[in-house]
Structure 1
Amino acid sequence: MGKATGFMEFERQTANERDPVERIHDWKEYSAPFSDEVAKTQGARCMDCGTPFCHIGMDIDGATSGCPIYNLIPEWNDLVYKGKWREALERLMKTNNFPEFTGRVCPAPCEGSCTVAINDPAVTIKNIEQKIIDKGFEEGWIEPRVPERRTGKKVAIVGSGPAGLAAADQLNQVGHQVTVYERADRAGGLLTYGIPNMKLDKDVVERRVQLLREEGIEFVLNTEVGKDISAEEIKAKHDSVILCTGAQKHRDLPIEGREGKGVRFAMDYLTKSTKKVLDDSVEVEEELDAKGKDVIVIGGGDTGADCIATALRQGANSIAQFGKHPQLPIKRSDENQWPAYPQVFSLEYAHKEAKENFGEDIRQYSIQTKKFVTDENGKLKELHTVEMKKTRDENGMFVFEEIPGTEKVWPAQLVLIAIGFEGTEQPVLEAFNVKTERNRVDAEYGDFRTNVEHVFAAGDSRRGQSLIVWAINEGREVAYHVDQYLMGETALPSVANM
């Protein structure tokens, strides 16, 4: 695919990022899409590798390798290289309901398993994907696809994140009447309120939601199931229900001083901050405003990076990010060989911005927070840490040990806990009386049925915190099984049949 010798002739190029010093003064997306010509050149780098690992969609050593929705990557790379944009869009949409989301916020495990990446920089798959879908919207090729017939079956979906939206899209296209219930005031789930605007512009999310509305999907917003409407009423109105509530039960840090004012969960901070960006009249409590404060983010993942970028734009006085693990190596270790996801050091968009703003990398590695300290009014004023050493015990298991003499006190008026999620919030699950296991809905992948008749579950609520591509995978798969359940057969695609 692509040009036979393209990977030898052309160097990898990524999307043009706006200057980090300039972009922290606004909330616009930090990068610009490829031009047509650059996309063609980058598509030419896709080699005729025989067995493409870019879409294997599997877990290796606990991390995703390849594309879980099995995007036809070599095919649309070749079509882009040849300038066949509309055909490339058609191939892309066969497997991905929302390329405009994945092209912006997916960590691109496909690139980690790209065959070119064995010896050279990977093909720029993610940026090409975004270019294809953006061009599709610009050219007017993407129009509402209103089903020609309706089956008379009604499906309710609880939660409007990527899994819920993907399931809704698939089921609507085969003629079922789909209603999506969302407790927030906007649809999109974490796409809307969990990811900052500079990473995923909310107009992009609303454009897709509006398209789904025009295709016949109904969105019921500001409606919390179990509070504003009962589970029994939803089940009575619909032939089937799909729970796509996500995994938003925060993992806490229960140490001394945790109750101090100024110690907050990262997702609460990001949600309130995004609401303020979208509507300046929204009142945000002073405790969640980073302006003029010393901010510390505990947790080294994407959510932590988004907190950094947000705090920078709010005018934080200083920012530090704590990670429990040592700094990753520059190159793959012997234990992390292709096609596994590359566990290597990188500078995310937020880290680049912070480095330009403060003159150094703000990340602190192998560090553990011991306690929070507040003033006489209960407001956070500092936190205490100690450095850690990662070793193996007599059984070969990794353990962390404190290093004596490395204690340190950090000034802080805002601490954001971003150490992941424990699973799904329980109220909705209790309302439907579905069984859970380890804070997740007990529903087997490849079947998705819960213990309650007519009720299915998919996405992070079933599998736990994961990637947007896994959410879309589960949304598409549960739609396949629900359609088969309702009709006795289905024309929807399934990865099991690929």
Structure 2
Amino acid sequence: MGKVTGFLEIDRQVHKYQPASDRIRHFREFTLPMSDKEVEKQAARCMDCGIPYCHGPTGCPVHNQIPDWNDLVYNGDWDNAIRNLHSTNNFPEFTGRICPAPCEEACTLNLEDIPVAIKTIEQAIADKAYETGHIRPYPPERKTGRRVAIIGSGPAGMAAAQQLGRAGHDVHVYERESRPGGLMRYGIPDFKIEKHYIDRRIEQMQGEGVSFHCGINVGVDKPVAQLLAEYDAVLYCGGSETPRPANIPGDDLDGVHDAMPYLVQQNKRIGGEPIQSVAWPSPPIVAGGQHVVVVGGGD
């Protein structure tokens, strides 16, 4: 836990934002980092629940040991905090930015609408680990001689590749787009996660022996039968790109678009890539100069 009386003495605090007048001038993240001392104070609010719902079945889907690393951060032990966080989470710098944080909803302090700032602390641990050089390639001590192919380089494919690579297997990831990351790269705007965070994880994984093959559409450019013949195992880690139908009058009219094709195109524009591909052949969608209505308040 953190400080015994921390939740009584310390108010909840999370990242502040750049002023709107600044953040409309760029597409990057606009949160302002908290200092180490501020993060340690927030970790002190963790109250050592008898049943920590934050990492139970209603909280964290990957079962992060949240009270443990809150206590480590509160005591200034950032190195062991990232070791603990990495024991359950391959990419905390991703989840610390884009996870909807069901852990905070499940936090006991949320009974008073003031949960521990778990997501903010998680991101701070990961960013601190990069600053201190803790996150670097950890290649396996010995190789198994087994070869594994992974179809899809989104978060599931990347996590599977990292785990299998560290187990000593020869791992090859196939991605039909020109860059790895899946919808984490192409479906989530830069203001929520800048894509250099994905790039540096890819570099770490390449340093551990994982190979990425981009621009290969498995089943079209490379038959699945060929993968099955070349590799000892094949993992399918493709995500869902089919929007849920709105089924409302007028959703078939010109100028009405699902979010995903627009987001993919805009992320490609910002990333300097051609907006059309085999995977996304839809015509250009441009919102500039238009009156826009967004239906739905989720991500």
Alpha-carbon spacing, 1:2–1:228, altered in 2? closer, same or farther (3 Å):
same
Aligned to 2:295: 298
Structure label with greater radius of gyration? 1
d(CA) in 2 for partners of 1:45, 1:253 = 42
Percent identity of paired positions between Structure 1 and Structure 2: 48
d(CA) in 1 for partners of 2:121, 2:173 = 31
Aligned to 2:32: 32
**Partner secondary structure for residue 297 of structure 1:** coil
Q: CA deviation at 1:250?
A: 2.0
Letter of the 2:3 partner, please give it: K
1:49-72 CA distances to partner (integer Å, 9 max, x unpaired)?
A: 22211100x3xxxxxx20111111
Gaps of 5+ in 1: 59-64, 303-498
| TM-score, structure 2 as length reference | 0.94
Pair 1:5 & 2:2 matched: no
Q: 1:213 aligns with which of 197, 206, 213?
A: 206
**Partner secondary structure for residue 54 of structure 1:** helix
| TM-score, structure 1 as length reference | 0.57
Aligned to 2:66: 73
**Partner secondary structure for residue 116 of structure 1:** helix
d(CA) in 1 for partners of 2:246, 2:108 = 41
d(CA) in 1 for partners of 2:295, 2:230 = 44
Q: CA deviation at 1:158?
A: 0.7
Aligned to 2:285: 288
Q: How many residues align?
A: 294
1:391-470 equivalent positions in 2, closer than 5 A: none
Gaps of 5+ in 2: 277-281
Letter of the 1:26 partner, please give it: H
Aligned to 1:105: 98
Pair 1:244 & 2:241 matched: no
1:397-448 CA distances to partner (integer Å, 9 max, x unpaired)?
A: xxxxxxxxxxxxxxxxxxxxxxxxxxxxxxxxxxxxxxxxxxxxxxxxxxxx
Alpha-carbon spacing, 1:179–1:286, altered in 2? closer, same or farther (3 Å):
closer
Pair 1:165 & 2:167 matched: no
1:217-276 CA distances to partner (integer Å, 9 max, x unpaired)?
A: 111101111111000001111111111111112223466665544222211101110111
Aligned to 1:445: none
d(CA) in 1 for partners of 2:85, 2:250 = 50
d(CA) in 1 for partners of 2:275, 2:143 = 44
**Contact 1:261–1:287 (CA<8 Å) still a contact in 2?**
no
1:5-43 CA distances to partner (integer Å, 9 max, x unpaired)?
A: 000000000112111232022011021232101001001
**Contact 2:268–2:275 (CA<8 Å) still a contact in 1?**
no
Aligned to 1:138: 131
Aligned to 1:18: 18
Aligned to 1:408: none
Q: 1:263 aligns with which of 256, 259, 264?
A: 256
Q: 1:225 aligns with which of 211, 218, 222?
A: 218
d(CA) in 2 for partners of 1:223, 1:287 = 23
Letter of the 1:8 partner, please give it: L
1:63-85 CA distances to partner (integer Å, 9 max, x unpaired)?
A: xx201111111111111111111
Q: Which structure's residues are more often strand, by fraction?
A: 1
